[in-house]
């Protein structure tokens, strides 16, 4: 055999032999396939037994018990009902955080499923149905599947995986703290310190098998406001003897709409100011003394967020003053912008394309919905992405949206969620 032939044989043999990284990738995919039915069964169990924010006791116990079975270190009662799991790899390296939210919504389910929720409870003093109408049941089941997959290759992991099972993403009950903000405050990203964090969200906007993301601002900052317009009560037949707060409130509603449409640069980022409720008066012939309005502010740029707040204050107070009324404005800041770190996103995008197939991964526009995953991203670089779970025989217009009593998850997409989260974790640790 000549030297050239020998070298050719060696090169072809090397090319045919999978690398260490390829072998690990295959182990992850094989393990994900094995746990898929277990993930689906777990999701159905949680779906049938939903719990509202800061009350996820059954769900938390299920998570903690399963993590302990896998030999993962567990810390419970984080931010009330949160669970943090720690999987230490066999080799030194960085720490990656993987997050799943746990809570359901005060929604009465209308989907005809054998495991549909029939749970009812009290929410803010009112009896309500409870449903996983936003897919958090799928998030928990997926991350438990990821925990099982990664625990099976822990000896080959270069670093540590921290599993963040988070309560109250939809908001804590009145008068309570909760969610990602409280988890961060209680040190969930410390000891050991998380270097990067990843999360996903199921959605009916994209078909099963697809993944979508956006670098930088992907979801909006959300703030709430309350306005109390105070006029002067009088008979409805003699409005000139008083100050009509209903008319003033109507002018304020219209004035607020000019802020996103006429006063801020809409080419920089979209924004919305929405009045969701108006309450005032008790009778058709009495002009009331006051009117209360509540609403939401959505924005995708931090400076614009502050500017909109200032413009709302000016608009509300000046319109009221022009009519001889007064107005009290209270703005309560909520979730920050869900901001995907550009460098981290660029590094991990090839992993998403490899896992789902390039044709099934898309970069999408930002949405004015909000996510408290943003509190984690304020502390460490993070990447949040959409996992399509819409049945392929439905269009986005036909499918019920998240938060609908008809929201439906095509469970054939959960396996891709397990693979995507497992692979981004491993690829991040070995980069």
Alpha carbon 107 to its chain's center: 18
pLDDT in tens, 115-136: 999 999 999 889 999 999 999 9
Which structure tokens are listed for 240? 């000139």
Q: Report which of residues 181 and 15 the model is more confident about.
A: 181
Distances (CA, A) of 290 to 249, 283, 324, 399: 9, 13, 13, 41
Q: Cβ(184)–Cβ(79) under 8 Å?
A: no
Q: Rounded CA gap, 249 and 319, in Å?
A: 9
- The 3-class secondary structure across 364-387, one letter per residue, is CCCECCCCCCHHHHHHCCEEEEEE
Among the listed residues 148, 169, 170, 335, the single catalytic one is 335
Which structure tokens are listed for 326? 């007064």
Q: Rounded CA gap, 360 and 339, in Å?
A: 22
Among the listed residues 36, 181, 411, 428, the single catalytic one is 411
pTM over 0.85? The answer is yes
Expressed in angstroms, the distance from the first to the final Cα of the chain is 40
Q: What percent of the chain has pLDDT over 90?
A: 94
Q: Rounded CA gap, 35 and 97, in Å?
A: 21
Q: Which residue in the block uniquely carries the two structure tokens 């405050």?
A: 185
* pLDDT class of 314 with cuts at 50, 70, 90: very high
* Selection from 263, 273, 420 nearest residue 352 by Cα: 420
Question: Within a 10 A sphere around the Cβ of 19, how many other Cβ atoms?
Answer: 9
Supply the CATH classification number for the domain 221-333. Answer: 3.30.70.360
* pLDDT class of 9 with cuts at 50, 70, 90: very low
Domain 20-219+337-430 class, CATH top level: alpha beta
411 catalytic residue (yes or no): yes
* pLDDT class of 16 with cuts at 50, 70, 90: low
Q: What percent of the chain has pLDDT over 70?
A: 96
Q: Is the pLDDT of residue 10 over 50?
A: no
Q: Rounded CA gap, 380 and 180, in Å?
A: 13
DSSP-derived 3-state class of residue 147 = helix
Q: Is the pLDDT of residue 390 over 90?
A: yes
Domain positions in the chain are 20-219+337-430, 221-333
335 catalytic residue (yes or no): yes
Q: Rounded CA gap, 342 and 215, in Å?
A: 5
pLDDT in tens, 268-285: 999 999 999 999 999 999
Sign of CA dihedral 89, 378, 100, 365: negative
The predicted model gives 356-361 an average pLDDT of: 98
Helices 136-151 + 414-430 axis angle, to 10:
50
Which pLDDT belongs to residue 425? 98
* Selection from 85, 25, 81, 94 nearest residue 53 by Cα: 81
């Amino acid at each position: 055999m000549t030297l050239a032939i020998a070298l050719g044989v060696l090169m072809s043999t090397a090319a045919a032999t999978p690398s260490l990284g390829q072998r690990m990738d295959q182990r992850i995919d094989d393990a994900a396939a094995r746990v898929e039915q277990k993930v689906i069964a777990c999701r159905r169990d949680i779906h049938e037994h939903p719990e509202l924010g800061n009350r996820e006791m059954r769900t938390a116990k299920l998570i903690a018990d399963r993590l302990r079975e896998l030999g993962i270190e567990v810390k419970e009662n984080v931010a009330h009902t949160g669970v943090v799991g720690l999987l230490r790899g066999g080799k030194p390296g960085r720490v990656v955080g993987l997050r799943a939210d746990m809570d359901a919504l005060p929604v009465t389910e209308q989907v005809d499923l054998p495991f549909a929720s029939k749970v009812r409870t009290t929410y803010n003093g009112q009896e309500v149905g409870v449903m996983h109408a936003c897919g958090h049941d799928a998030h928990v089941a997926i991350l438990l599947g990821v925990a099982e997959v990664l625990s099976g290759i822990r000896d080959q992991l270069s670093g540590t995986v921290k599993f963040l099972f988070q309560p109250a993403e939809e908001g804590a009950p009145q008068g309570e703290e909760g969610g990602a903000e409280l988890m961060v405050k209680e040190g969930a990203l410390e000891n050991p310190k998380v270097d990067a964090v990843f999360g996903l969200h199921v959605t009916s906007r994209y078909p099963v098998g697809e993944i979508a993301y956006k670098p930088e601002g992907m979801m909006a900052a959300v703030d709430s406001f309350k306005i109390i317009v105070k006029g002067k009560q009088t008979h409805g037949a003699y409005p000139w003897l008083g100050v009509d707060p209903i008319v003033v409130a109507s002018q304020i509603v219209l004035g607020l709409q000019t802020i996103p449409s006429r006063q801020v640069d809409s080419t920089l980022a979209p924004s919305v100011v929405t009045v969701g409720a108006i309450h005032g008066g008790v009778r058709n012939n009495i002009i009331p003394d006051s009117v209360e309005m509540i609403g939401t502010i959505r924005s995708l740029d931090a400076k614009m967020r502050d500017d909109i707040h200032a413009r709302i204050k000016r608009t509300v107070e000046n319109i009221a003053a022009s009519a001889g009324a007064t107005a009290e404005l209270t703005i309560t800041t909520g979730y920050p912008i869900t901001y995907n770190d550009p460098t981290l996103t660029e590094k991990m995008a090839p992993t998403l394309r490899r896992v789902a197939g390039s044709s099934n991964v898309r970069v999408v526009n930002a949405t004015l919905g909000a996510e408290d995953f943003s509190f984690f991203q304020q502390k460490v670089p993070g990447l949040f992405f959409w996992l399509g779970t819409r049945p392929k025989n439905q269009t986005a217009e036909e499918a019920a949206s998240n938060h609908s009593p008809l929201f439906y998850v095509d469970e054939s997409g959960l396996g891709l969620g397990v693979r995507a989260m497992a692979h981004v974790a491993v690829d991040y640790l070995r980069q």
